[in-house]
Every structure is written in C-alpha cells, then in structure tokens.
Chain A
Amino acid sequence: MVVLLILVAGGFVNGMSRALRTTGGEHNVILMGAGSEESVERSEIEAGVPGVLAASVAGVRTRAGVAYVSPEVHVMLPVRVGAAASTTTQSSGVQAAAAQGSSTSSMPRPKGRQVMMRGVTTAAALVHESVSLTEGRWPESGAEEVMVGRMAATVLGVAEIDLQVGKAVMIDGRPWEVVGRFSAPGTVVEAEVWLPLADLMTATKRETISCVVLTLDPYNEETGEGAEFGDIAAFAKTRPDLELVPMTEREYYGKLADFFGPIKIVAWVTAGLIAVGGLFGGLNTMYAAFASRIRELGTLQSIGYRRLAIVWSMIQESTLATAAGGLIACAVGVFMLDGLAVRFSMGAFGLMIDETVIGLGLLTGLALGVVGALPPAIRCLRPTIPVALKAV
C-alpha cells in the first residue's frame, strides 16, 4: 500500500511535469501581451500582429509559401456535452444539444465544466507538430464546429463515446458539432477543444487575439539563414507599441509547471507522511516478531553465528517481505494505473509511472524493509548470550 501510494504520487507529479514540459515545439516561440507571461488566457494583442511578424522577421519557417505563424485565442469556457439521441444524421447531436440547452426550456440549465478553448487557423497544424488529426476533419469557420482532443472527455467527465464525431457540445449557450478528434501524446494540448479563430473571437466578443505562436527555422551559421529567439526578442523591443513579450513555448509551459509546484510538494509530503506512518506500523510488528525469537537468536550466537550475520539475515527477511509487497504494488501501478487520465485544473494528463517512478517505489520498499528491521534487530541482539538463552 505504501509503495503503491508512492507510485501514485510519483506518477501524478511525473505526469503533470512531463505533460507541461513537453508541450511546446522545440523551435516554437509564443508572443503574448506584456504582463500575461503567467497565463496566456489573460493576454490580448492586436489581431494584426501575425501579419506584421511574418513581414518583419526573417527566419520564420515556411512551407510552400505558407509561414508557420499561428494566431490564437486561448480562453476557458464552460462546456456541456449534449446528449445525442442517435448518430444516424450529423445534425441529430446538434439538435439534441440545442434542445437540452435551450434558454426557453423549463429545466434548470445544467452547469458545464471549464475547458481550455483554443481558436486557431489552419496554420496551427503546421506550428503544433505534435497535434495530429485522428478522426474526422478540421472545423469550418462559421459552421459552429469544433474538434476535440483525445483527453477532452476526461476533462468534461464524460465517456469517449459522448465526444465522437457527430456529437455536440454546448458552448456559450449554443450547440457546436464535433467534426474532428485530434491527439497530441504526452502534452496538455490533448485536453483542449479547438475551433476556428474567427468563431471563437465572435463568441467571446473580442477584437484581439491572445497570442501568436510561430516556428523558427534554426539559425544556420554557414548560410546565415534562419533565426534565433533573440531575433524575435529584438523585434518585440523595436515595436513597444505592440506591447509584446516573447518566450519560447517550452519556457511558457515550464513556468506553468513551476506554478503547480506547491501542489506537487503537497502530493509528495502526503505520500511521505503515509510512508512514515506505515513504517511505524511495520516497526511495531518487527519488534514483536523478533522479540519472540530472542532465545533462537541466542542459540544461533552460541553455535557460532556472528551478530552481524544475524542482523543481515533479519534485514533480508524483512526486505524480502517488503520487496514482495513492492513488486506487487509496481505490477498494479504499471498494469492498472499507468496512463490513467487525471483531470486537474482545466486540463488533463495521464499518470506516468515510468522507470524512474518504479525505481523509486522499489527503493522505498527496500528502504522500508531495511529501516524497519534494523532497530528491532539491534535491540534483540543487545542482550548477552546467557540472558538471551534464558529469555521467555
């Protein structure tokens, strides 16, 4: 139980950290409004910034003449899942959701769950290389269509089947049809809902966008082509009127990972405290188990076994028991808990019980075995041989 708890805590912290730190392309730079570095949802920049960027900064990656520049709106909105009666027609889910969410309905409005909505253009598919469309198609602008990430169902607390292509979700009091599903393994993007940028700006009544994400061509010293982060930073400095702050995408999500630092500490402290509590229980049991064998230990000493050897055998006994328990816990962790989706603070990630976490769990089990056996073993070997042989 103790080792399992360590695995869960480790998997939770590992999963959260990895999901945040691996989100973001290696060469991606995000430009957001000054003062919003901690949270892009608060950022607002002029809608014309992407055009200015593409024209002013050399070294932005392009393909077939299309620049890897993605204007985006990030906003958290409550989303409800519409109950579609059937999926025989694409519009049935939309109709059912509309009926459920109608403001003229006499039923009380069900409350939604906060989901990260990202308004994007097709350039986002170029910039966010980890994202791949797994089902359906890209949503069309003006058609009230969305595409959902693989973990969006976890965030919304519904079954996967409720977010299949053709189903509907209620956003801002209107039904939106799910026309596509995407995956972005190991990143927090999988928990998002993407829709056309213009549609989200209309729905949220904004004239500004949240940020621009662009991909740089790595700088080549020989040819002089490409760009570095410093070039983007220099651009932002030369245009103070735009009030832009650049940072690499990985740096942004890394800061977000740091933001959750106190939560991770709480998870580890809780697991540690329970481990210590379990240790005390184990020590008690070991004391009792070894105390009943004082005479046996005295006999062993009298026939020539050294105390160190006896202590070592007792440690092995204890460690064998805890190692067995640890292995069972690791098996449960790997086969039942690894990858388990966890919904947390408007996002979702999978528990990541990798080799580091398993190693930590096993080490904890072994440590409990050693620490749990040492004090009782030393105590039981303290009496002299005659005293031990006379023990009851």
Chain B
Amino acid sequence: MIAPKFVPVVVKQLWRHRVRSVLTLSGVAIAMFLFIAVQTLQEGVRRSTQTAAGDTRLVVYRENRFCPAASRLPQFYVDRIEKIPGVVSAVPVKIVVNNCRASLDVVTFRGVPREELVGPRGWATKWQLIAGSVAEWEKRSDSALVGETLAARRGFQVGQSFDASGITVTVAGIIRSPEAQDQNVAYVHLDFLQQAAGKGGGLGSVTQFTVRVDDPAKMEQVAEAIDAEFRTEADPTMTSPEKAFVAQAGADIVEIVKFTQWLGWGCLAAVLALVANAIVLSVQDRIKEHAVLQTLGFRSGLIARLIVSEGMLIGALGGAIGTGIALSVVHFGNFSLSQEGLSIGVSASWSVLVWGLIISAGVGIVAGLVPGWRAGRREIASCFRAV
C-alpha cells in the first residue's frame, strides 16, 4: 500500500491529534469487543451443533421429549441397543438439571455407570484431571467429577460438598475435556443419581443412552434402526446425532445467538462510522497541508493511500485492543449457555483473534477510502484557498 518509509508519517498524523485518536481507538475497541464476543458465541454454537465428518455419537432420547425431567427410558433398553448392527457401545445416562430453561448458570448432573467412566476405554481416558482423582470418585457413592467450566463458575474445590436440585455431592475431581458438554457438568454414579433424584423414575430408569457407532457414515441408518426397535414400546425413542440433538434441544439458545449476529453487524457498522468520522475530521483539518505536500511532489494517489493507511492503522489498533480484551474475558470468564441440561460453551480461539484483526483493519481501510479519494482529487490551488 505505502512504502515503509511513510509509516512514521501515518503514525505522526495519529499522534498529532492524540485526543481524537484515543477517542476513536476506544470506540473501535468497544465495538470490536462486542463483535468478537458475538463471534465467540457463534463459534460455540457451531462447535456444539454442527455434526463433523468424524462424529460417531448418537443420543437416544424419549420421543417427543427434550426436558431431562420428562425423558424416562427403561435402563434395560441398553441390551437391545447394543445388539443393533453398527453399535459399538451404548451407555445409559441419567441427567438431572436444576432448571431446564436457557441460562448462564445451570448445574447439570450426569449419572453414568462406573465401568463406562473408569474402564480401559472409558470416558475418563479422554479427560485431563486438573485436580483430584478418578480413584477418589470411585471410593464414594456421592462423589462427583466436575467439569472445569462449572467448577470455575461456582468456585468448587476438591473435597467440597455442594447441593443442587436437592442432591448433595462431594467433589472428587475437576476434569478438562475436549467435549464441550463435559466441561459444564458434574459426573456422578448412575445408581446414586437414580436414587437421589427421588421420584424421577428411580432405579432402572434413565434419561438417555449415549451410543457410539463404528462408522460415521452409517449414523443415520443406526439411528433409524434404534427407533424402529422401540417404536411399538410404551416408551418409544428418538435417536439423533449428538450435535443435532443439541441443536434441537438448545433451540432457544441457538436462536438467541443467531439474533446476536445482527448485533455483530451493527458493531461493524459502528466501527466503520467511527473510523470514517475520525478520518473525515482529520482530512478536513489538513486540506492546506495536503496541498503543500502535493506542491512538494507527493502524488495525489500517495496522499490518498496515506489517508487510507491512517484508517487501517486506527482500525487495526482499536481492533487489536478490543479483540484482546474480548478473548481474555471469554477465556477467564468460563461462560456457557445451558438449556435442557445441555451446554453451549463460549470459547475463544486463535482463528477468532486473527479474523478480528483482519476485519477491523479491513473496515478501517474501507472507512478511509472515500475521504482519501476526495483528498487526492482536490486541486492544489483550491486547497490553498480553503479556510
């Protein structure tokens, strides 16, 4: 765009009007903070709801139910599910959540059989134990392995007891998992949860089955086979890929996040307006100065590019500040939206950071285009006559 030797000129222009530059930078930073926050929400939804090619997990739920309190399936279904061709494993899971509604602060208990968690190919093999141990979890019937996000949000420590949904558990360990759903739940023993949940079905009743298939390409086929197996039973099932299930059960959250897209676009428009405003004001102050530069030999194209570079620099700097703050807040805030016992994590990634910087710089360039073009087209004589 411009030769490196002109970069100090651009920086000096911004430094000359420090107050204006700081105000513009602050406004851009705030707008980009909101834009990036919206983007992290969008990314969380995408990660939680879009089935990837390698996904092999199905969720078997009670037909026409999404609330864990309303879905009750007989635990003996697991034997029949495991016999269906294509099924590698089926794990009965009991879910108790303190509130089914969409919110930022929900406590979800997931009761799973001991052998599914601690076995040689158990779920715990994929987790990283940040504190405590699985052995501690095995020792007590009322122990819980708590996801990192939930533990950070509620300030749980190993050895601490807490109560939610009328169930009291003791934290045996804090886990970090690559699966978004695991980060915001407390894993307990299945039989403990079945009994502690009281009238919620009791022993022999579970909320769902988590099924793993051998071939991702056959997920739909296996899902149909499972539903066909129980179609005529008293408790028919509805089987879908885990992420598709999250998309439907968490439809309220998905809609809210979709709506925030408009907020994101509004923020970009605000960045454009702020930077354009600052550039226009700056150019107006320097009409004569530009005329002098042209008299000295600066081409009109170069002057236009200098102005556009100013816009890009303000956009990039403000974007960097706003993006950095947003990603820090998201990283340390451990936010997640929950509904029906399912979580959609709000997470930061490097790609969001890079895109944030590129977009803010790009918007800055766009904002400087018209003022730069107009400044470049002015005649020298008319510029000198300007007041």
Contacts and interface: CB of A to CB of B under 8 A. Distances in A.
Whether A and B are associated in the same complex: the answer reads yes
Contacts of B19: 287, 379
B33 interface: yes
Contacts of A232: none
Nearest to B238: A109
Q: Report the contact-size class of chain B (Cβ under 8 Å from the partner).
A: 35 or more
Contact of A273 (B34, B64, B72, B165): B34
Interface in B30-88: 30-31, 33-34, 63-67, 69-70, 72
A284 interface: yes
B199 A33 contact: yes
Interface stretch (A246-254, A262-270, A306-314, A363-371): A262-270
Given A262-B105, A345-B103, A172 B165 contact: no
Interface in A103-132: 103, 111-114
Given A36-B166, A111-B248, A208-B199, A288 B281 contact: yes
A285 B198 CA distance: 64
Between B64, B66, B281, B285, the greatest number of chain A beta carbons within 10 A of the residue's beta carbon is seen for: B64
Interface string B232-259: 0011000000000000100110011000
Interface string A261-293: 011001000100110111011011101100000
Between A76, A172, A173, A205, the greatest number of chain B beta carbons within 10 A of the residue's beta carbon is seen for: A76
A284 B199 contact: no
Contact of A173 (B64, B66, B67, B102): B64
Q: Report the contact-size class of chain A (Cβ under 8 Å from the partner).
A: 35 or more
B99 A284 contact: no
Contacts of A344: 102, 252, 256
A262 B23 contact: no
Interface stretch (B136-144, B182-190, B270-278, B295-303): B270-278
Interface string A204-226: 11001000000000000000000
B274 A284 contact: yes
Contacts of A262: 103-105
A77 interface: yes
B70 A39 contact: no
A277 B318 CA distance: 12
A281 B277 CA distance: 8
Nearest to A111: B248
A316 to B, nearest CB: 22
A277 B98 contact: no
Given A75-B67, A78-B64, A205-B234, A38 B98 contact: yes
Interface of A: 33-36, 38-39, 41-42, 44-45, 75-78, 103, 111-114, 171-173, 204-205, 208, 243, 256, 259-260, 262-263, 266, 270, 273-274, 276-278, 280-281, 283-285, 287-288, 343-346, 379
25 contacts: A33-B198, A33-B199, A39-B98, A41-B67, A42-B69, A42-B96, A44-B198, A76-B66, A78-B64, A114-B252, A172-B64, A208-B199, A243-B198, A277-B270, A278-B27, A278-B270, A280-B26, A280-B274, A281-B270, A284-B20, A284-B274, A285-B277, A287-B281, A345-B101, A346-B252
